[in-house]
């Protein structure tokens, strides 16, 4: 018989009084009688009560942590506190033993570092199972939101020859013999001999292809793995992460900001609706962690209150130029507490972003109108009258969404739709126009104003789960010097 999910057993009152089968992994076995069984359908366990006269001591000795068992029995109202119902087990079978001496994860609190080293088993802990159920809710919510808004899911390629972000941080894809590659007449590696007949790499963004889609289908979004060979070993960076990139024709920067804010709120509302028990667990976990910090470093709001706050309040929208003014007037700048200097023209560092969000506005902030020099070639150049225009220097119609505790979670822009302006900007930024002839064709044939953005899935999941390290919100993190499991 197919086992009934424990979530249904606990939530569906109609199942009380029926006999059914559940299967899962033992969390604890208490008083030689009570199995706390978890099957991953919910963070809550089902208490399975064993009749010692029916189940011999040699079987009971096998109910060790993480042993897989299948129980059949009657669901009854629980006499104990802590759970509404429990199972009176009439039949139990050990499906897979788990040697208690060797199983690395014990029913006690382990450090996240230890669990990362045991990443193959960490999904069996409350923390990680909660995180990955929420990650599912967020992923599904993304499709739901864009579908409701009339966007088409558009699959951009993982293998590409173009560096969309122009940052030169790409992984090469090749079938050439690394030790003995074919050479051309100049003595360089001859990529004409390579599988794709040209140097090919893993994508850093599906945007350029999404733009092609948007200029035909109107509205598209991509949602796929993205790769960056940036050597930043931080709690916010992965070498392989998932990005969502909507792109819409006839949308300007204001529409782009509305779409981004709407997406964040849709996802938060969905998680609050569907994942409350996981959130309550993570909220308590975060409170414990916060209690170990000095008072002035503690967050003002708990996890659930923070999510509700972001859901209920409009995001602040400011220009880069105003953001710099705020930072120049700020205490940490005047007391020289920022590590990086502040002046018009700099790229905002994470410490600056966090000051704006956490100290100054105390809510998510969308910054627009960044200097053109620090942003990608495809962003639209501002003219007087455009939101974000500045007389201090050339700005572009960029927008970054900054979140508390994290900094940038979304980067986007209105795109440069004017062929001559785009070509000039590409030249200035040394972006090879001849390789991007197909991209430029969209500006030659029926170009229109359009805009889009990229949301980093893991950064968003960090925010909704209250986790502190991006390695803990992707099942198998890939970071510099680490690709195990
Ligand atoms: O700001 P980025 O680089 O923007 C783009 O790639 C544009 N092509 C998006 C667009 O307009 N279609 O990246 C977008 C988001 C960031 O805001 C961040 O959340 C995430 O992707 N991100 C990373 N997440 C984890 N690890 C990394 N190394 C990341 N790099 C970017
Ligand atoms: Mg960015």
Element (H, E) at 59: helix 57-60
Q: Are residues 316 and 435 in the same domain?
A: yes
Closest protein CA for atom 21 of ligand 1: 456
How would you class 440 by CB atoms within 10 Å of its CB: exposed for 0-12, middle for 13-18, buried for 19 or more?
A: middle
Strand order in the sheet with 395-403: 152-153, 219-227, 240-249, 450-456, 407-414, 395-403, 365-371, 316-319
Q: Which ligand sits nearest to residue 456's alpha carbon?
A: 1
How would you class 156 by CB atoms within 10 Å of its CB: exposed for 0-12, middle for 13-18, buried for 19 or more?
A: buried
Q: At what angle do helices 253-274 and 457-465 cross, to 10 degrees?
A: 50
Closest protein CA for atom 1 of ligand 1: 411
The answer as to whether 467 is a domain residue is yes
Closest protein CA for atom 7 of ligand 1: 454
Cβ atoms of 380 and 396 within 8 Å: the answer is yes
Q: Which two tokens stand for residue 419?
A: 């062929």
Between strands 68-77 and 85-96, the pairing is antiparallel
Q: 400 alpha carbon to ligand 2 midpoint, in Å?
A: 7
Q: Are residues 222 and 79 in the same domain?
A: no
> Which ligand 1 atom is at minimum distance from the Cα of 454?
9
> Which ligand 1 atom is at minimum distance from the Cα of 455?
15
Closest CA to 457 of 263, 207, 210, 169: 263
Residue with tokens 């003595």: 187
The answer as to whether 109 is a domain residue is no
Integer Cα distance of 474 and 462 in angstroms: 10
Q: 261 alpha carbon to ligand 1 midpoint, in Å?
A: 16
Residues 6+ apart with CB under 8 A from 1: 21, 72
Cβ atoms of 366 and 394 within 8 Å: the answer is no
The answer as to whether 349 is a domain residue is yes
Q: At what angle do helices 253-274 and 276-291 cross, to 10 degrees?
A: 100
The answer as to whether 448 is a domain residue is yes
What is the DSSP secondary structure assignment for residue 253, as one 8-state letter? H
Tell me, what's the pLDDT at 180? 95
Tell me, what's the pLDDT at 81? 80
Tell me, what's the pLDDT at 116? 87
Q: Are residues 40 and 147 in the same domain?
A: no
The answer as to whether 218 is a domain residue is yes
Q: Are residues 230 and 315 in the same domain?
A: yes
Domain range for residue 61?
6-103
Q: Which two tokens stand for residue 215?
A: 């200029």
Q: Which two tokens stand for residue 150?
A: 């009339």
Closest protein CA for atom 9 of ligand 1: 454
Closest protein CA for atom 23 of ligand 1: 456
Q: Are residues 40 and 136 in the same domain?
A: no
Q: Are residues 163 and 85 in the same domain?
A: no
The answer as to whether 479 is a domain residue is no
The answer as to whether 185 is a domain residue is no
* CATH number where 326 lies: 3.30.930.10
Instruction: Domain count for the chain, please give it.
Output: 2
Q: Are residues 272 and 316 in the same domain?
A: yes
The answer as to whether 175 is a domain residue is no
Best residue among 228, 410, 431, 454 to mutate for probing ligand 1's pocket (most ligand atoms within 8 Å of CB) is 454
Cβ atoms of 40 and 24 within 8 Å: the answer is yes
Torsional class of 250: left (φ above 0), alpha (ψ -120 to 50), beta (otherwise): left
Cα atoms in the 13 Å half-sphere on the side-chain side of 196: 11
Q: Are residues 240 and 297 in the same domain?
A: yes
Closest protein CA for atom 31 of ligand 1: 456
pTM: 0.96
Integer Cα distance of 25 and 45 in angstroms: 10
Domain end point (choices 46, 70, 103): 103
Q: Are residues 317 and 442 in the same domain?
A: yes
Give the C-alpha distances (Å, rounded to integers) separating 336 from 50, 66, 162, 331: 65, 52, 41, 8
Integer Cα distance of 97 and 11 in angstroms: 29
Q: Are residues 51 and 150 in the same domain?
A: no
Q: At what angle do helices 303-312 and 253-274 cross, to 10 degrees?
A: 140
Lining ligand 1 with CB less than 6 A are: 164-165, 205, 207, 228, 230, 237-238, 241, 243, 245, 408-413, 452-454, 456, 458-459
Q: 408 alpha carbon to ligand 1 midpoint, in Å?
A: 9
Cβ atoms of 205 and 164 within 8 Å: the answer is yes
Integer Cα distance of 45 and 84 in angstroms: 11
Q: 410 alpha carbon to ligand 1 midpoint, in Å?
A: 7
Tell me, what's the pLDDT at 107? 75
Integer Cα distance of 214 and 397 in angstroms: 18
Tell me, what's the pLDDT at 358? 92
Q: Are residues 140 and 247 in the same domain?
A: yes
> Which ligand 1 atom is at minimum distance from the Cα of 413?
11
Q: Are residues 301 and 334 in the same domain?
A: yes
Q: Which residues of the chain fall below pLDDT 50?
A: none
Characterize 337-370 residue by residue with b for buried, 16 or more Cβ atoms within 10 angstroms of its Cβ, and e for exposed: ebeeebeeeeebeeebbbbbbbebbebbbbbbbb
* CATH number where 50 lies: 2.40.50.140
């Amino acid at each position: 018989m197919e086992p009934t999910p424990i979530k249904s057993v606990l939530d569906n009152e109609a199942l009380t009084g029926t006999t059914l089968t559940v299967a899962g992994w033992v969390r604890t076995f208490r008083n030689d009688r009570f199995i706390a069984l978890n099957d991953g359908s919910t963070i809550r366990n089902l208490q399975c009560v064993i009749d010692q006269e029916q189940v011999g001591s040699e079987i009971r000795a096998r109910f060790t942590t993480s042993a897989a068992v299948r129980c059949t029995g009657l669901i009854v109202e629980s006499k104990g506190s802590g759970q509404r119902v429990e199972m009176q087990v009439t039949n139990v079978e050990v499906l897979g033993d788990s040697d208690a001496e060797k199983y690395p994860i014990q029913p006690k609190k382990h450090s996240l570092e230890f669990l990362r080293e045991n990443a193959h088993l960490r999904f069996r802990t409350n923390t990680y199972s909660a995180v990955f159920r929420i990650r599912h809710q967020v992923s599904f919510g993304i499709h739901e939101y864009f579908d409701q808004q009339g966007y088409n899911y558009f699959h951009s390629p993982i293998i590409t020859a173009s560096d969309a972000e122009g940052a030169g941080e790409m992984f090469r894809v090749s079938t050439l013999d690394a030790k003995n590659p074919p050479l051309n007449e100049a003595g360089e590696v001859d990529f004409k001999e390579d599988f794709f007949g040209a140097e090919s790499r893993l994508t850093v963004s599906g945007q350029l292809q999404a733009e092609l889609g948007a200029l035909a289908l109107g509205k598209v979004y991509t949602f796929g793995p993205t790769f960056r060979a940036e050597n930043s070993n931080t709690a916010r960076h992965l070498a392989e992460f998932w990005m969502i990139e909507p792109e819409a024709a006839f949308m300007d920067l204001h529409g782009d900001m509305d779409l981004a804010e709407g997406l964040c709120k849709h996802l938060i509302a969905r998680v609050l609706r569907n994942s409350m028990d996981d959130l309550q667990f993570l909220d308590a976990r975060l409170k414990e962690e916060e209690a170990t910090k000095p008072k002035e470093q503690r967050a003002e709001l708990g996890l659930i209150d923070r999510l509700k706050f972001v859901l209920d309040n409009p995001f602040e929208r400011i220009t880069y130029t105003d953001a710099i003014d705020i930072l120049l007037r700020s205490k940490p700048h005047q007391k020289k507490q920022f590590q990086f200097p502040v002046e018009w023209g700099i790229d905002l560092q994470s410490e600056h972003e966090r000051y704006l969000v956490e100290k100054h506005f105390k809510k998510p902030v969308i910054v627009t109108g960044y200097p053109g020099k620090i942003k990608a070639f495809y962003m639209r150049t501002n003219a007087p009258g455009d939101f974000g225009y500045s007389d201090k220097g050339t700005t572009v119609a960029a927008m970054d969404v900054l979140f508390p505790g994290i900094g940038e979670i979304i980067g986007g822009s209105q795109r440069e739709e004017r062929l001559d302006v785009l070509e000039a900007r590409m030249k200035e930024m040394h972006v090879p126009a001849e390789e991007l002839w197909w991209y430029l064709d969209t500006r030659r044939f029926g170009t229109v104003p359009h805009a889009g953005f990229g949301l980093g899935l893991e950064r968003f999941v960090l925010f909704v789960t209250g986790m502190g390290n991006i390695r803990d919100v992707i099942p198998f993190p890939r970071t510099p010097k680490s690709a195990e499991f």
